[in-house]
Structure formats: structure tokens, C-alpha cells
Amino acid sequence: MLILAASTQRTIGLVLAAIAISGFILYWVFNWFQGRAETGSEVELAVNRKPYHSDEVLETKKLDSSLFAGLFCLVVIGIALPLYWMGEPGRHEGLVEENDEVAVHRGEELYEERCASCHGTVSGPGGSVPYTLTDDNGLFLGNLNWKAPSLATVLYRYSTDEVEYVLNYGRPNTPMPAWGAPGGGPFTTQEIDEVIAYLAHEQVADIDEVRQRVDDGLVATVRQRLTAADPSLDPDALEVAVASRLESIKADPTEYGELLFNNEGDNGVYGCARCHTPGWSYDADDVRSREGNMLISPEEPGGGGFGPNLSETIRQFDTAQDHETFVNLGSQNGVAYGNFGQGDGGGQMPAFGLCVADRDAGERDFITRDAFCDNRGGEGVLTNEQVAAIVAYEREVLAGEN
Ligand code: HEC
Ligand code: HEC
């Protein structure tokens, strides 16, 4: 066994040695036949030892061709480079546009994932959020549905910075959570910007359409009131009644102001009640009558919710004119208004009469508009006449109550 094993290894070793040796011999033979004879001495062969052009050629043809090559390079530098730089701003713009598109696209994904469940689509009428209302001590008051506002015109009413503020901190005591890092939310600054880019992209395109939405809201509000008063009205009779009721309301500024104040359109974004009447956003009166839940306080027009109680506001503005200016412009973060008002919480009283891009620059009437507002003529969601009507209602009716 042992001898057999040793002889097998030997055989393999011998065969391998034979292959190696014969391979080497083959290589040597090939090399022998392929080898070339010495072609010349190093002195003749070296490139730098070769004789060069004669002086004659050097000073004519060679000189000219070198000069032409230089000229060609100059032309390239002198023309091609400026041409390249001329295209640079366009290329840059294209890049910015592309980045904007990317931001909008990313914003859309974030919106679908994080916002749509409550607000619906951006251009839609808003949404509804199940919410458990508790009192200041955390005691249960009732289960209800909170109206999430439509975001279709949010940038007509708020500057980008103000929307950023709401996104960063949310709205305390409402279902709107904080999204930004400053408020303890999950979004990065870039994600907040991207969502805003998407909101901007989806805003109602022109001011006439905004006005139409305001009017549609008024019609719906009147229809709702008439149906509540007389549920037996058939649809045709109802529409006739709505039209004539609306006409008579519009003839009286304070009545028109009351309707505008309580406009239900797009979940209340064109009206005032959602912030100034406590309980409006969850229909406190309905919840009370439906559930007999007396723990929930009734709605009190202008009684103060997220925005202040308006019964004292007449002391704030000496004239209706000043009052209207405030409603047109809204509040600015940290900027005083009226006789003793102080805009805080990021300037959350919206601008109703003007599209404002930047109200955060200090002076009250220093407003920089951006392309978004300029493309819409700088107008806000309400007309001057509508703002005047609301102010008349506030000064003549609300100021007398409470
Ligand atoms: C859990 C439901 C919910 C989610 C999720 C939510 N929101 Fe809201 N949001 C609300 C409610 C409710 C309000 C209104 C609060 C009030 O009554 O003042 C609101 C208010 C706002 C406002 C202020 C609008 C105005 O006109 O006053 C903006 C802007 C806004 N949300 C944007 C967003 C964005 C963007 C997202 C996603 C990143 C988002 N929301 C996610 C419920 C939600
Ligand atoms: C999104 C919430 C919101 C809506 C909607 C809103 N307001 Fe306000 N309003 C506020 C806040 C908040 C303030 C306090 C100023 C601040 O903190 O920036 C305020 C302040 C005011 C003041 C000054 C009150 C005072 O005594 O200092 C008036 C007047 C007023 N709002 C009128 C209106 C009118 C009119 C409308 C409807 C056309 C309206 N508001 C809609 C949030 C709102």
C-alpha cells in the first residue's frame, strides 16, 4: 500500500517535470527563431539624436504651423469659453427648476403620507378628524369630528413663513400636530420646505376661482340654514329660497358680514368663526343637541377660540378703516397692531384682503410680494366690500354682545 502510494506520487511528479522541461525547450526554440538581428546602434536609434529640420524649414513652415496652432488655441479660449459661460445662467436656471420639481414631487409624497388623511387633497374642500375633546385638566368632554381646513388657498392668506410656523408647531388644542423639529415633530427643515413647495404648486390658480369658492361657501351656508329651519323644502323650492335669501342678506352690510363671518365654505377658511367662535370647528351646538352632552360649551359667536374674543375689539381700532386694514393684512409675528394688540404665535390671524408673501419684515405696511402673489394681482380671498361688511358686523353686533 505504502509503496504503491509512493510510486503514484513519483509518477505524477515525473510527468509534471517532463511537461515543464519540454515546455521550456519549446519556448527556447521558438525564441531562437523569432529573435531579430541587432538593427543599429543606440546613437542612431535614440529619438533625441535624430537630425532635425534645417534652419530654413524651422524659420518658415515650422514657425508658421506653430503660430497657427497658438492662434487656434486662442480662438478656442476667446470664443468657446464665453459661449459656454453665456449658457451657464440658463443651465443654472434649468437646474433650479429641476430642483423645484424634485422638491414638489417629494412634497407630494410627504403630503399623501402625512397630511391627506386629515386635509384631503390640497385643492379639495378640507377634511374631518375624529377627536376626543378634554378640558384643561384632561377630563373627557366628548367625542367629535374636528373640521380640517382646506389648504387650496392657504398661501393667499398666509406668507410662506407663517405656514412654516404652523407646520413647525402645529395648532395647540386642535388635532393639527407639530411636524417640524422646533415643535418636536418628525420632519426636517428640508421636508417642511418640500411640503410647502407642494402646497404652493397646488394652490387655486386664479383669484376669480377663489372668489367663486367664497361665494359657493356662502350659498352652502344659507342652504344649510334654510334646510335646518324647514327640512321639508323640495330641492327646487330650496334653491329658489336660497337665491332670494342671499340677495336680501347681501343688501344689508351687517347681515352680509354675519354670513361672511360664519362662511362654511372649504371648512371655514374664508370666514372668521373657525378661530373666533369657540366650538365652531366641531359644531359644538350640534354635538350638544345630538348627544345631550352638556359638558361641551355652546358656540358663542366671536367669543374667542384660537383667536381672541372680539367683543372688546372696538377698543382696539378707533375707526372702521383701521379695523378693515387689520383684517386685510392680518397679524405679523411679534408686531404690535391697533391700540394694544400684539401679534404672536407666528402671525396666525390670516390676511383676508391681500395676498401677502412676507409680512415678517417689521413695519406693518412693509409687505414684499413674491411671484405667487403678483401673478394673482396681489388680491386676497375677500373683496374690500366683503371685509367692510364683516367689520360692520363686528363693530355693530359682536361689540355689543358678550
Ligand atoms: C390629525 C389630523 C391632521 C394632520 C395629520 C394634519 N393636519 Fe393640518 N390641520 C388639522 C386641523 C384640524 C387644522 C385646523 C386647526 C384649527 O382648527 O385651527 C389644521 C390646520 C392646518 C393649517 C393651517 C391652515 C389654516 O388656514 O388655518 C395648515 C397650513 C396645515 N394644517 C397643514 C398641514 C400639513 C402640511 C400637514 C401634513 C404635514 C398637516 N396639516 C397634517 C389637522 C391635521
Ligand atoms: C386661523 C385663525 C383665524 C381666523 C380664520 C381669523 N382670525 Fe382673527 N385673529 C386670529 C388670531 C390668532 C388673532 C390674534 C393676533 C395674533 O395673535 O396674531 C386674531 C385677531 C383678530 C382681531 C383683533 C382682535 C383684538 O382684539 O386684538 C380681529 C379684529 C380679527 N382677528 C378679525 C378677524 C376677522 C374679521 C376674521 C375673518 C375674516 C378673522 N379674524 C379670522 C386668528 C384668526
Tens digits of per-residue pLDDT, 129-156? 999 998 888 888 888 999 999 999 999 9
Long-range interactions of 180-185: CB distance < 8 A, separation 24+: none
Under 8 Å between Cβ of 281 and 268:
yes
Tens digits of per-residue pLDDT, 301-344? 999 889 999 988 888 999 999 999 899 988 888 888 888 888 77
Interval between CA 166 and ligand 1 midpoint (Å): 8
- Quote the CA–CA distance of 274 and 176 in Å, as a whole number: 14
- Quote the CA–CA distance of 79 and 65 in Å, as a whole number: 21
Under 8 Å between Cβ of 305 and 268:
no
How many other C-beta atoms are found inside a 10 Å radius of the C-beta of residue 174? Answer: 18
- Quote the CA–CA distance of 161 and 370 in Å, as a whole number: 13
- Quote the CA–CA distance of 288 and 291 in Å, as a whole number: 6
Using a 6 Å CB cutoff, which residues line ligand 2?
271-272, 274-276, 306-308, 310, 312-313, 316, 326-327, 331, 338, 341, 343-345, 347-350, 352, 390, 394
Average pLDDT over residues 265-281: 96
In 3D space, the residue among 306, 387, 372, 294 whose CA is nearest the CA of residue 344 turns out to be: 306
Provide the grid cell at 312. Answer: 372688546
- Quote the CA–CA distance of 368 and 401 in Å, as a whole number: 38
CB within 8 A of 96, min separation 6: which ones? none
Under 8 Å between Cβ of 402 and 311:
yes
CB within 8 A of 217, min separation 6: which ones? 263, 264, 265, 266, 270, 271
- Quote the CA–CA distance of 386 and 324 in Å, as a whole number: 10
Residue corresponding to grid cell 365652531: 280
pLDDT score recorded for residue 354: 81
pLDDT score recorded for residue 336: 85
pLDDT at 2 over 60: no
Report the range of poorest mean pLDDT among 25-29, 51-55, 107-111, 126-130. Answer: 51-55
Interval between CA 215 and ligand 2 midpoint (Å): 21
**Ligand 1 mutation target, pool 118, 165, 195, 213, most atoms within 8 A of CB:** 118
Average pLDDT over residues 115-131: 96
pLDDT at 367 over 70: no
CB within 8 A of 385, min separation 6: which ones? none
In 3D space, the residue among 185, 153, 147, 152 whose CA is nearest the CA of residue 166 turns out to be: 185
Query: What value does the CA radius of gyration of the chain take, rounded to a whole number of Å?
Result: 40
Tens digits of per-residue pLDDT, 66-75? 999 999 999 9
Residue corresponding to grid cell 405696511: 365
pLDDT score recorded for residue 43: 63
- Quote the CA–CA distance of 131 and 171 in Å, as a whole number: 14
- Quote the CA–CA distance of 93 and 99 in Å, as a whole number: 10
Atom of ligand 1 nearest to the CA of 163: 29
How does the average pLDDT of the chain come out, rounded? 88
pLDDT score recorded for residue 390: 97
pLDDT score recorded for residue 369: 58
- Quote the CA–CA distance of 299 and 280 in Å, as a whole number: 6
- Quote the CA–CA distance of 207 and 375 in Å, as a whole number: 9
Q: Is 163 in the pocket of ligand 1 (CB under 6 A)?
A: yes
